[in-house]
Amino acid sequence: MWTSKHLETNTIHGGKTSQGEFGPLSTPIYQTSTFVFDSVEQGAERFAGEAQGHIYSRLGNPTVDELEARMALLEGTEAAAAFGSGMGAVSAAVLGLLKQGDHLVTSHRLYGCTFALFNHQLPAFGIEVSFVDLSDERAVRAAIKPNTKVIYGETPINPCLSVIDLDLIAIIAKSANITTIIDNTFMSPVLQQPAKHGIDIILHSATKFLNGHGDVVAGILCGKKDIIDQIKMTTRKDMGAIISPHDAWLIIRGLKTLHLRVERHNQNALAVASYLQDHPMIKKVDYPGLASHSGYKLLGKQMHGGGGVLAFELNGSFDQAVAFMNQLQMCKRAVSLGDAETLIQHPASMTHSTYEPEELAAAGIPQTLVRLAAGLEHVDDIIADIEQALVSAKKHAKSAA
């Protein structure tokens, strides 16, 4: 398997495990549920782990293998495991590493479904969860108990774009023999590689930047081979959140343009954030690429850019925020990110609707907060659409008064 020291090259050439019988340039799609054994003995050896080879696509598939090899290379880890969704990856990771009586420390701000899993489902299995500010060293150290087994976080955090110092989290965790999991979806390997900072498991919703075309739902875990193998042979195998060969192929195809796309997403998001921070109708802009953001100090050290997602609060009411979003014409009202189209959503009523009102307040997610995932359009068109919608929202406020 040929590899380069340059990520741009590895997104195209890295991880190729086979050219196939006929030497195709594009990765073959092994659209099969099962694999034929030459003999009963060979089948028995494969099931016993005594011989290499595929058995059944829930356990492994050549197309999926290539995606996993490529993602491990891009994230700088020993291995990777692909899943049928980002939440499939989250669930497999935490349930594969935690058991009844264990303790998880996580962020007080999380993607809504991850929060629901941790806040409602894990306690039902006898797993204790503490929600803290992972950017606060004292809070993290104070939350750790003798039974703490995992620290889980996102950086930047969905939806408010807070940034966690990965080096600090890794140091704290390693001193207490705790496994770390970081969701790297918002950055992608182009802008951030958590393994270089001592993180054990890196998680992606591959639906987003990795695929980049809004036509796949998938998840990825990258990490040390022993941990990834454990998850593959327990929670992924037995709970079945497997990715299809065709979806794996679509992500492999998307990865070929990952570096170029992320670069453009990043440029557009920075331009939009810079425009909004001086706008009279905007109360606050959350974007790590702005010097005013608390995470800006980690640019260059941990991140190579602010990313393609920003959040901003309207200087007005919830009704104004709704009026603003409903007036947008080119920007699409949809959850997700990393697509060619600019997507915009209202966290409190959409992605983070699993939070109770008091939980939203504690997490710092106001009713006027909007999250925007900058697309690949010309940035002037994105800004023009936002401006006309803000003007309309201002008129709405005057008419309502």
pLDDT at 87 over 60: yes
> Got the DSSP string for 152-214?
EEESSPTTT-----HHHHHHHHHHTT-EEEEE-TTTHHHH--GGGGT-SEEEEETTTTTT-SS
Asked whether residue 330 is domain-assigned, the answer is: yes
Asked whether residue 286 is domain-assigned, the answer is: yes
**What pLDDT band is residue 131 in, cutting at 50, 70 and 90?**
very high
Question: By residue range, what is the domain housing residue 282?
Answer: 258-400
Q: Are residues 234 and 354 in the same domain?
A: no
**What pLDDT band is residue 398 in, cutting at 50, 70 and 90?**
low
Which residues are CB-neighbours of 185 under 8 A, at least 6 positions away? Answer: 86, 154, 158, 203, 204, 205, 208, 209, 337
The stretch 187-216 carries a mean pLDDT of 98
State residue 397's pLDDT score.
60
**What pLDDT band is residue 13 in, cutting at 50, 70 and 90?**
confident
Structure tokens at 190: 């182009």
CA dist 210 and 316 (Å) reads 35
Specify whether the CB–CB gap between 295 and 153 falls below 8 A: no
Last residue of a domain, one of 255, 279, 313: 255
The stretch 112-119 carries a mean pLDDT of 94
Q: Are residues 331 and 202 in the same domain?
A: no
Last residue of a domain, one of 238, 255, 272: 255
pLDDT at 401 over 60: no
The stretch 141-159 carries a mean pLDDT of 96
State residue 396's pLDDT score.
65
Asked whether residue 51 is domain-assigned, the answer is: yes
Task: Report which of residues 203 and 22 the model is more confident about.
Answer: 203
Q: Are residues 190 and 318 in the same domain?
A: no
| Residue 80: CATH number of its domain | 3.40.640.10
Q: Alpha-carbon dihedral of residues 83, 85, 90, 92, nearest 10 degrees?
A: -40
Specify whether the CB–CB gap between 289 and 307 falls below 8 A: yes
* Kind of pairing between the strands at 128-132 and 148-154: unpaired
Specify whether the CB–CB gap between 103 and 125 falls below 8 A: no
pLDDT at 1 over 70: no
Enclosing H/E stretch for 128: strand 128-132
**What pLDDT band is residue 41 in, cutting at 50, 70 and 90?**
very high
State residue 2's pLDDT score.
64
The stretch 45-73 carries a mean pLDDT of 94
Q: Are residues 292 and 219 in the same domain?
A: no
Asked whether residue 1 is domain-assigned, the answer is: no
In sequence order, the β-bridge partners of residue 309 are 373
Q: Are residues 108 and 29 in the same domain?
A: yes
Overall number of domains in the chain:
2
| CA distances, 188 to each of 238, 303, 344 (Å) | 28, 10, 19
Q: Which of 123, 20, 111, 5 is nearest to 63 (CA)?
A: 20
**What pLDDT band is residue 225 in, cutting at 50, 70 and 90?**
very high
Number of Cβ within 10 Å of residue 210's Cβ equals: 28
pLDDT at 18 over 70: no
**What pLDDT band is residue 375 in, cutting at 50, 70 and 90?**
very high
Q: Are residues 72 and 144 in the same domain?
A: yes
The stretch 331-360 carries a mean pLDDT of 89
| Residue 277: CATH number of its domain | 3.90.1150.10
State residue 318's pLDDT score.
85
pLDDT at 400 over 60: no
* Percent helix / strand / coil, the chain, rounded to 5: 45, 15, 40
- The pLDDT tens digits for 288-328 are 999 999 999 999 999 999 999 999 999 988 888 889 999 99
CA dist 22 and 24 (Å) reads 6
* Residue 83 CB-density burial (10 A; 0-12 exposed, 13-18 middle, 19+ buried): buried
Q: What is the mean pLDDT of the chain?
A: 93
> Got the DSSP string for 235-283?
IIHHH--PPPHHHHHHHHHHHTTHHHHHHHHHHHHHHHHHHHHT-TTEE
CA dist 65 and 237 (Å) reads 15
Active site residues per annotation = 58, 111, 183, 208
CA dist 67 and 270 (Å) reads 30
State residue 25's pLDDT score.
86
CA dist 67 and 125 (Å) reads 32
Structure tokens at 388: 């006309």
The stretch 193-216 carries a mean pLDDT of 98
**What pLDDT band is residue 91 in, cutting at 50, 70 and 90?**
very high
CA dist 18 and 26 (Å) reads 10
Last residue of a domain, one of 206, 238, 255: 255
Task: Report which of residues 19 and 372 the model is more confident about.
Answer: 372
| CA distances, 278 to each of 127, 206, 265, 315, 379 (Å) | 45, 34, 21, 12, 17
Q: Are residues 282 and 392 in the same domain?
A: yes
Which residues are CB-neighbours of 227 under 8 A, at least 6 positions away? Answer: 97, 179, 200, 201
Query: Tokens 């979003």 label which residue?
Result: 325
Task: Report which of residues 80 and 22 the model is more confident about.
Answer: 80
